[in-house]
């Protein structure tokens, strides 16, 4: 395997979704909306072959100037 193929094999695509609670909902509704959002993101990630991450991981990586560990 040459260097180009090795680099391509190590590349990952990410599906980034918002972890922030929606405005205008009570606490019970917020939990339900966030759970549904998480489930939909996971389904999309599996179907598309992407790793699913919350937007805070992306922001933390930018702030640190390097990719942070992904919590699975």
Give 55's pLDDT tier (boundaries 50, 70, 90).
very high
Mean pLDDT, the chain, rounded, equals 85
Q: Tokens 């100037």 — which residue?
A: 65
In the DSSP assignment, the letter for residue 20 is S
pLDDT value, residue 41: 95
Two tokens, residue 56: 């805070």
pLDDT digits (tens, 9 = 90+) for 21-48: 888 888 889 999 999 999 999 999 999 9
Which bin fits 24, alpha (ψ -120 to 50), beta or left (φ > 0)? Answer: left
Q: Which letter does DSSP use for residue 25 in this model?
A: -
β strands within the chain, DSSP E: 14-17, 51-54
**CA separation for the pair 62, 60 (Å, rounded):** 5
């Amino acid at each position: 395997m040459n260097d180009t193929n090795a680099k391509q094999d190590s590349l990952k695509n990410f599906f980034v979704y918002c972890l922030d609670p929606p405005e205008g909902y009570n606490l019970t509704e917020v939990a339900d909306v966030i759970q549904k959002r998480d489930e939909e993101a996971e389904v999309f990630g599996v179907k598309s072959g992407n790793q699913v991450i919350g937007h805070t991981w992306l922001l933390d990586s930018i702030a640190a100037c390097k990719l942070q560990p992904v919590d699975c």
